[in-house]
Structure 1
Amino acid sequence: MTTVRTSVLPPYAAHLRVYEPLAAYPEPERARWQAYAATHGPDASVPEHSVAPAALVEQRKALAEVVGRTPRALPDRESEQAFVRQLDGVTYVCPWATRLRSWQALDELRASLPVALLDTVLPPAARAAATAQRERWQAGHPDDRPWILTSRWEVPLRWFLPFGAEDRCFVPGSAEDRRGQVAPALFYLTPMAQARRRVARAYRALRERQGLGSAGGPARGPAGQGGPLVQEVEQIGRWLEEFHPRSLVELDYGGLVHLLGPERLAVEDSVAEVESGLLALRSGDEAGAVRAYETVTARWRQVLALRYAS
């Protein structure tokens, strides 16, 4: 298990990860990850262990890449590191895939910043070079996908769907923060088969019933037409289908633990509330489903609003 003492405060971001068993990787990639896992050791050897200390190592390396250098759109080479979990004698690997995720982050940056500010952060020439490199890479790796999705300042509602309340793991102390104090961790871990079933059930329920239509929520429409939430659930389902059926799926609140604080974190259980809302929806109690939806979204809007706090 990786341990680290660092002054790096994790970014306010949550992560959705997939850990695939070694058998899922083709040779010679399998042999490489097997050797890596044997040398590196597991970051978590029981389900109740968090990989938060290893995540701090990843963030520290990323910070070292940019400090004191001219900003680059993406790393020169793909990372050869991964998060490693061991469960019931099986080794599971979640590659960092830093370069691939950097390309995706660049797309998000383009969508979120005005052009003038974007040009200041990353000049057009750097973005054009990154795009050209990505196109060349994709030509030789058409099926590659990230093992890690990242969301800044919030946990998207659709990310709660693969999990059940029984998957919740709250660790009062996990990794040290910048003040040398031990920060808590909150994560959910579940088998891929269970995650797919839950997402499929949620998708069917949302398709069969009217949208949850509330302020800021999916628009109402005839049953079966769906809305933004239905489309987002479908995207998550398709992403999960890309991986080995015996994989593990993890939702890690990551640096958001610093925004929520220990007391709120100890009682935070959006997964159970989303489960309750879906149960109400399937039983025809749309009012109950709307209440659950609004409760969860209101909570995360409050967290998201901290992005603009001074």
Structure 2
Amino acid sequence: MPNVTAVRTSVLPPYAAHLRVYEPLAAYPGPERARWQAYAAAHGPDAEGPERTVAGAALEEQRAALAELLARTPRALPERESERAFVRVLDGVTYVCPWTTRLRSWQALEELAGVLPAALLDTVMPPAVRAAAEADQAAWRKSHPDARPWILTSRWEVPVRWFLPFGKEDRHFVPPVPAGDAAGPEPAALCYLTPMVQARRRVARGYRVLREKLPRGPLVQGAEQVGRWLEEFHPRSLVELDYGGLVHLLGPERLSADHSAEEIDAGLAALRAGDAPEAVRMYESVTARWRKVLALRQGS
């Protein structure tokens, strides 16, 4: 299949979804722009057009991360920042989403410390290893005070707030390719892709109605977090929500029937119109769906 990175492997990706920002080459400063331009020219696009996904390239990234974990000496993060990126081409424009694996590893380490009990955390990641990683991060932050990841990751669920930037027209469902197909087998895929301007507009509109109608609800803070993160990027960027490895949990039938972004949008419209029962029904429809997925984590 042209214009798609294909990776054949028996390794299943983690059960995680990703929110990504792809910035146009023009958004990067001179030397960095030249580097990404050369990378895109040599590497080619991972996806061309809105209907394509970067699933193959994402699996390649995860395999590289797994190789790091299998090193003889335990490491909390890669020794150097990744020089790779996801590349999208849309309407003749090249967009780049750097992997920033090292920066995201620091963030994952912070999240891990907030989730695991201390004894288990020490077993998974010894205190000396964590301390070295934290020292490295502190030193790195001094020279990179404005650094931010182009990719956010959520394990075992898609947070409701992540649907705020998208509408039903942004949804792209790719059916699975059966084992007998020459290009297959490939799992189903589900992603949303929208221009940054539209994403910011939707989040701001959602934030306003939530702050007015449900000022103490969890979505208010979530909308603010997503909005602040999107403001960090070029206004002509692309925003993508990728169900990633969650497709292996949900399966093609549940993916095909999943219209979470449309339901959240409908719930906000109902809330704006003063129809609280309908807003609650839409919200609970989405949260109930993801509670079932989260329940699988407890049984794993």
TM-score (norm 1): 0.92
CA separation in 1, counterparts of 2:76 and 2:178? 29
Amino acid at match of 1:186: L
Residue among 5, 24, 30 paired with 2:8: 5
Change (3 A) 1:147 1:115: same
What does residue range 121-270 of structure 1 map to in structure 2 within 5 Å? 121-173=124-176, 181-209=185-213, 211=214, 225-270=215-260
Q: 2:31 and 2:189 mapped to 1: Cα distance?
A: 35
Q: 1:174 to 1:250 in 2, by over 3 A?
A: farther
For residues 199 and 71 of structure 2, the distance between their equivalents in structure 1, rounded to whole angstroms, comes to 42
The residue correspondences of 1:277-296 to structure 2 (distance < 5 A) are 277-296=267-286
Gaps of 5+ in 1: 212-224
| AA matched with 1:10 | P
Select the residue among 100, 107, 125 that pairs with 1:97: 100
- Aligned partners of 2:263 and 2:286 also within 8 Å: yes
| Cα displacement (A) at 1:68 | 4.4
Distance 1:20 1:135 in 2: 27
Tell me the number of residue pairs that the alignment of Structure 1 and Structure 2 aligns. 293
Q: Deviations over 1:105-157 (max 9, x none)?
A: 00000000011111111111111111110011110001110000000000000
Equivalent residue, structure 2, for 1:218 = none
Instruction: Specify the alignment match of 1:34 in structure 2.
Output: 37
Q: C-alpha separation between the residues in 1 aligned to 2:108 and 2:19?
A: 15
Instruction: Please state whether the residue corresponding to 2:12 is helix, strand or coil.
Output: coil
Shift of 1:175: 11
1:52–1:175 CA contact under 8 A, matched in 2: no
Could you tell me the TM-score, scaled by structure 2's length? 0.95
Q: Secondary structure at the match of 1:14?
A: strand
In structure 2, distance between residues paired with 1:175 and 1:184: 10
| Structure 2 residue runs without a partner (length 5+) | none
Q: Which residue number in structure 2 is paired with residue 216 of structure 1?
A: none
TM-aligned CA deviation for residue 181 of structure 1: 3.2
How far apart, in 2, do the equivalents of 1:144 and 1:118 lie? 27
CA distance in 1, matches of 2:144, 2:136: 12
> CA 1:112 to 1:260, structure 2 compared with 1: closer, same or farther past 3 Å?
same
Matched, 1:81 2:84: yes
Give, in whole Å, the separation in 2 of the partners of 1:142 and 1:202: 30
Question: Which segment drifts farther, 59-68 or 260-269?
Answer: 59-68
Instruction: State how far apart, in whole Å, the 1-side matches of 2:50 and 2:178 are.
Output: 17
Q: SS of the counterpart of 2:50? A: coil
Change beyond 3 A, Cα 1:85–1:174: farther
Give the counterpart letter for 1:306 in structure 2: L
Mapped to 2, the partners of 1:295 and 1:69 lie a distance apart of 46
Runs of 4+ in 1 over 6 A off after TM superposition: none
Deviations 1:9-43 (A, max 9, x none): 01100000000000110121110000000000000
Q: Do the aligned residues in 1 keep the contact of 2:47 with 2:89 (CA within 8 Å)?
A: yes
Aligned residues of 1:175 and 1:184 also touching (Cα < 8 A): no
Q: Is residue 113 of structure 1 aligned with residue 116 of structure 2?
A: yes
Seq. identity, %? 74
